[in-house]
């Protein structure tokens, strides 16, 4: 969070998505830019009159409200001067002056990111492809990045989470907003097993302009972007175009040539994107650069076989037998408060030892969203805790 007040000042004055690369290369940092002052800004020839007027309108001290919001909510502020800032993202000309992070900030500091994007109202085919590819890439050593929307984005995030790996969700709004309630439970899960990231200040509402700006971050922090089921006007094609402009790789999963929902992805392949039939089609592009960090084992499994293995693994988790008898003498867990909701009571009653999320959903009979909401309530009461691998146990 080095000199974050100056970076927030720069972001606030020039606006989200501004091309700040030339300014920082000239002056060195946001703090040095501010301290240079109006005369140096004019002499540099880099700024328009309107930009200079904006730079003088605000002061870095006015960033205090944003910093306070982040401190109160335990959100991290990451600037290009911080080691946690994604190194690949720093290479694009319009890299964000500030990133706000909810979750494990170390999740965004590496290079082995792969973006998976596609339709919101995805077909069963698209959802399955996103889930399986994401799971396989996560096992291979990548961190999957997507946008947290319904459809392909959600399937991509879930594929990584089901593999027991972190995932990064780049938001088109500020942290703390009430956007897309249908995915609130998923965002909560990601914040505990990865990170939610945005360039927008806390509580900034989503709009039609924020999502295209968000897309350049998804592709910019990633080595490559995989498009799964995209129509000719799909927003995911904007992400693919950003990736190409940023010099990043573009992949696409082939789809039904008779279905308009695949026209965009199929067109990308026609125009030079690499088709994806197995995870190896992606892994092999980077394995020789990162041989000690990537694994090609099992990456060459056809997606049809991988889907069967993935489904079987999930069913095995759900139907696994109960654990062996517990010792007679044991510490009693904290009692459930009387004011707990019915869903929370149902979840609390099925947690026995280290209980997997899939097992909780199956035995409680609740939807994944209701189960996660109940889990949140129980965590707030302090009667359960989360363990690695999406498992929970009573305290």
Q: Which of 23-32, 173-182, 302-311, 329-338 has the highest mean pLDDT?
A: 23-32
Q: Which domains, ranges and CATH numbers included, belong to the chain?
A: 4-101 (no CATH), 112-302 (3.40.50.450), 320-395 (1.10.10.10)
**pLDDT interval class at 393 (50, 70, 90):** confident
**pLDDT interval class at 327 (50, 70, 90):** very low
Judge whether 155 and 167 are in contact, CB under 8 Å. no
C-alpha pair distances (Å), 9 with each of 3, 199, 288, 353: 10, 13, 41, 49
Higher pLDDT, 348 or 168: 168
| Structure confidence at residue 389 (pLDDT) | 63
The mean pLDDT of the chain is 88
Judge whether 189 and 158 are in contact, CB under 8 Å. no
What is the percent of the chain where pLDDT is above 70? 91
Check whether 45 has a pLDDT greater than 70: yes
Reported pTM: 0.78
| Structure confidence at residue 297 (pLDDT) | 84
Segment among 25-34, 93-102, 165-174, 311-320 with least mean pLDDT: 311-320
| Structure confidence at residue 319 (pLDDT) | 39
Secondary structure E strands in the chain: 76-78, 99-103, 113-118, 143-146, 167-170, 194-198, 224-228, 249-253, 274-275, 355-356, 384-387, 391-394
Q: Which of 74-83, 204-213, 250-259 has the highest mean pLDDT?
A: 74-83
| Structure confidence at residue 304 (pLDDT) | 66
């Amino acid at each position: 969070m080095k000199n974050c007040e100056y970076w927030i000042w720069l972001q606030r004055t020039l606006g989200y998505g501004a091309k700040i690369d030339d300014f920082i290369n000239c002056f060195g940092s946001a703090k040095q830019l501010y301290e240079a002052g109006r005369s140096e800004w004019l002499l540099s020839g880099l700024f328009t009159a309107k930009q200079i007027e904006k730079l003088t309108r605000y002061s870095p001290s006015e960033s205090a409200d944003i910093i306070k919001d982040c401190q109160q909510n335990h959100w991290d502020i990451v600037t290009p001067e911080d080691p946690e800032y994604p190194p690949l993202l720093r290479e694009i000309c319009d890299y964000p002056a500030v990133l706000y992070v909810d979750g494990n900030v170390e999740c965004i500091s590496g290079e082995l990111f792969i973006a998976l994007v596609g339709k919101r109202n995805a077909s069963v085919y698209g959802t399955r492809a996103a889930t399986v590819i994401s799971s396989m890439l996560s096992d291979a050593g990548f961190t999957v990045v997507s946008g947290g929307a319904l459809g392909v984005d959600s399937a991509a995030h879930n594929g990584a989470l089901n593999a027991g790996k972190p995932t990064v969700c780049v938001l088109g709004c500020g942290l703390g907003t009430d956007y897309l309630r249908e995915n609130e439970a998923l965002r909560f899960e990601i914040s505990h097993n990865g990170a939610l990231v945005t360039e927008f200040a806390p509580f900034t509402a989503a709009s039609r302009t924020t999502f295209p700006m968000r897309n350049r971050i998804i592709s910019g922090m990633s080595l490559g972007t995989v498009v799964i089921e995209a129509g000719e006007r799909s927003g995911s094609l904007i992400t693919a175009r950003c990736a190409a402009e940023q010099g990043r790789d573009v992949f696409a999963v082939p789809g039904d040539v008779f279905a308009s929902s695949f026209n965009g992805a199929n067109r990308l392949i026609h125009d030079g994107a690499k088709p994806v039939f197995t995870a190896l089609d992606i892994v092999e592009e980077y394995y020789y650069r990162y041989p000690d960090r990537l694994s090609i084992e099992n990456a060459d499994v056809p997606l049809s076989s991988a889907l069967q293995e993935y489904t079987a693994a999930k069913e095995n988790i759900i139907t696994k037998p109960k654990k062996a008898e517990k010792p007679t003498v044991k510490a009693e867990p904290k009692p459930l408060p009387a004011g707990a909701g019915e869903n929370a009571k149902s979840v609390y009653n099925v947690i026995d030892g280290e209980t997997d999320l899939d097992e909780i959903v199956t035995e409680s009979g609740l939807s994944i969203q209701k189960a996660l909401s109940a889990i949140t309530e129980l965590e707030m009461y302090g009667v359960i805790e989360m363990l690695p691998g999406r498992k929970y146990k009573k305290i």
